[in-house]
Amino acid sequence: MKGWNGRLLRVDLTKGKTAVQEYSEDLAHRFVGGRGFAVKLLWDELKPGTDPLSPDNMLIFATGPLTGFMLPNSGKIVVASKSPLTGGYGDGNLGTQASPNLRKAGLEAIVITGRAGKPSYLLIEDDHHEIRDASELWGLDAFKAEAALKEDHGRAYGTLLIGPAGENLSRIATVVSQEGRAGGRPGMGTVMGSKNLKALVVRGTKELPAHDPAKLRELGQEGYQVILKKDNYNFWKRQGTMATVEWCQEAGTLPTHNFREGIFEYAADIDGNIMETMVTKQRGCPNCNMICGNVIEDTEGRESELDYENVTMLGSNIGVGDLQQVGTLNRICDELGLDTIGAGNCIGFAMEAAEKGLLDLDTAWGDFEDSKKLLTDMAYMRGVGATLGLGTKKAAEKIGKGAGDFAIHVKGLECSAYDCHLCPGMALSFGTSPIGAHHKDAWVISWEISSGKRAEYGPEKADKVIEFQRIRGGMFESLVACRFPWIELGFELDHYPPYFEAATGVKMSLDDFWALGDRVYALIRAFWVREFGGKWDRHMDYPPKKWFDEPLTKGALKGKHLDMEKYDGLLQVYYERRGWDDRGIPTKATMKKRKLEKEAAELEKYVKLN
Ligand code: PTT
Ligand code: SF4
């Protein structure tokens, strides 16, 4: 096999053993890499009903066939597992030096099972694989632990690690890297902590097996040039994702006070324009020439790397209208290894619960000191943080008294930063995302608002969600390349099939990539259904109740809310287009079309397929 090393590393932390395994060409050709590999491995090997925090759960890190080559924005990695937050399939995607290093160590993926007897870290140096003692790192925040590992091993080593949130099994813990990159929102850091695994440290120096190295070099150089010449390049370099604050404020979709208002009085104090005046440096992922991580000084003079989601969820959603304060909350999340989106939702939820007298908590919207304390308590799972750190769904179940009505999540994963009271297409995107409410698979909101049919529930919205899910959730997550060149600068999708062919020698058209996306989606859905069995129900694909029942309270969109019956109709169109039945389960014919006959037979053991 060219393009793929054809090898993955198995790590059993209970036994303290590692082993390299060759995988089949069929896996490479049918599932490509990244998310495709992850869901196939989880489907084949994880016993249904496994407790996500038990040693039996699998934690997977997977690169793709473009990783490690000098191709635009190819320095990312997928981290996946059965999620302790949702009980279903979970994954995330982050930029890290560990990713190209892993491929150059001759591996595409790492599959970790078991639980180490004491805090440990995994060291990979080409063909040397070792589980090492991490007792001295345990308890350190992610920045300090990373610095210690780099000091021991050198700066050329890539690291993936958890902070105290993962160690203490906060369910909203992510995996972090490079002081500002984080991924795995559905509790991937929690799973890592449950395995007593503090970090992965990776160095690879081998040549990658390219099908056509000269062509790859030529295509890569050309791709970087095309990106540099894109019209939006300079603006992107100045503001990155932070431009979205202003845009969302204008569109009335800025999460404010736990997704109640859609506009924020102090939006201009936390947006990309004000950030531009404060930026001290920029950081980003490997192999990228459109670096987008903007760093400012927080209230204590420390570096904090801002992104739209972080700033909104820790800013307007909890009422904090000072960018340096938001920077501090963001920095705390990165140090603790807490997902900013989950954390901002949990604090917003807590503030609303306190306001309604449902939670014994003396706080108010915008209270910076309380927010800092809540973050720390959620990471260490102490005090009220022990409830909130379970995520909004489970916290609401514990609190009772109708608290679930304002818990903003889908399937247990908190919504990212788009208020959808008047965006049914984006609500469908959250509803049908394969990991719970995340915008990453189908960010249709910009198209929806500019379409002139924002309030409508027409079938074209289901089509658009599927189109985006194929591109973003299928192609980019399986190639494991950053989607920003395409979605933010208009870097043409046609670049990717030639990259793939030069790397692997395998021809895949864009249509073939969409088919890959559909296969991955069908299998992820099968995974969820197998886990939930008879409890699976189409209502799991509904967005938060609040968007239906509690109209927006401010601004031009005051009074707007989603319509339950119309949403259900849109969901039905989505199911029909996907070849899924009324329950949202792929039919036998669809599984066959996606070349998943064996998987369909397995699924039939749990539910009857139509
Ligand atoms: C991602 C989610 C996002 S999505 C953001 S900001 W965004 C938050 N970032 C966090 C953070 O930072 N620290 C922290 N402690 N928690 C955080 N939680 C939130 O996590 C990220 C970029 C961004 S910035 C986005 S959209 C794009 N995401 C991509 C993706 O998902 N796939 C892909 N092929 N390309 C992508 N490119 C962009 O990458 P999750 P990163 Mg992140 C600090 O992983 O779990 O999906 O959650 O990886 O290296 O930081 O780059 O406005
Ligand atoms: Fe990373 Fe930003 Fe570059 Fe994407 S555009 S690869 S998120 S630095």
Q: Are residues 404 and 450 in the same domain?
A: no
Q: What is the pTM of this model?
A: 0.97
Q: Is the CB of 269 under 6 A from ligand 1?
A: no
Residue ranges lining ligand 2, Cβ < 6 Å = 73, 95, 284-285, 288, 290-293, 482, 484
Domain harbouring 546, CATH code? 1.10.599.10
The reported pLDDT for the residue numbered 209 is 87
Residues 441 and 388 in one domain: no
Residue nearest to atom 7 of ligand 1 (CA): 309
Does residue 2 lie in a domain region?
A: no
Query: What pLDDT does residue 1 have?
Result: 82
With a CB cutoff of 8 Å and minimum separation 6, the contacts of 95 are: 75, 76, 77, 177, 178, 181, 284, 285, 286, 288, 482
What ligand is nearest to the CA atom of residue 189?
1
Q: Indicate whether 412 and 438 sit together in one domain.
A: no
Q: Are 432 and 499 in the same domain?
A: yes
Positions of the chain with pLDDT lower than 50, given as ranges:
none
My answer on whether 446 and 522 are in the same domain is yes
578 and 499 in one domain? yes
Same domain flag for 131 and 262: no
Instruction: Tell which one of 292, 440, 479 to mutate to probe ligand 2, the residue whose CB is within 8 A of the most ligand atoms.
Output: 292
> In angstroms, what is the span from residue 483 Cα to ligand 1's centroid?
11
Ligand 1 lined by 98 (C-beta under 6 Å)? no
Least distant ligand from the CA of 434: 1
The protein residue with its alpha carbon nearest to ligand 1, atom 35, reads: 482
Please count the structural domains in the chain.
3
Domain of residue 337: give its range: 239-417
d(CA 550, CA 34): 39
pLDDT tens string 39-75:
999 999 999 999 999 999 999 999 999 999 999 999 9
Rounded Cα distance between 88 and 84, Å, is 8
| Contact by Cβ (8 Å): 123, 160 | no
Ligand 1 centre to CA of 320 (Å) is: 21
First to last CA, the chain: 37
Ligand 2 midpoint to CA 433 (Å): 22
Relative to the alpha carbon of 305, which ligand is closest?
1
Which ligand 1 atom is the nearest neighbour of the CA of 95?
A: 49
Mutate to test the pocket of ligand 1, among 482, 487, 489, 493 (most ligand atoms within 8 A of CB): 482
Are 83 and 112 within one domain? Answer: yes
Residue type at position 478: S
| Best mutation site among 83, 97, 192, 440 for ligand 1 pocket (most ligand atoms within 8 Å of CB) | 440
Give tens-digit pLDDT for 137-177. Answer: 999 999 999 999 999 999 999 999 999 999 999 999 999 99
User: Ligand 2 mean position to 72 CA, how many Å?
Assistant: 9
Residue matched to tokens 């393009």: 3
pLDDT at 267: 98
Query: Which ranges constitute the DSSP H helices of 89-202?
Result: 98-104, 142-153, 164-167, 188-194
Cβ–ligand 1 contact at 316 (below 6 Å): no
Look at residues 394, 417, 440 and tell me which one is the last residue of a structural domain.
Answer: 417
Q: Which two tokens stand for residue 290?
A: 């459109």
User: Where among 361, 391, 417 does a domain terminate?
Assistant: 417
Q: Does 58 fall in a domain?
A: yes
Judged by its nearest atom, the ligand closest to the C-alpha of residue 96 is 1
Give the pLDDT confidence score for residue 180 in this predicted structure: 84
**What's the mean pLDDT when you consider all of the chain?**
97
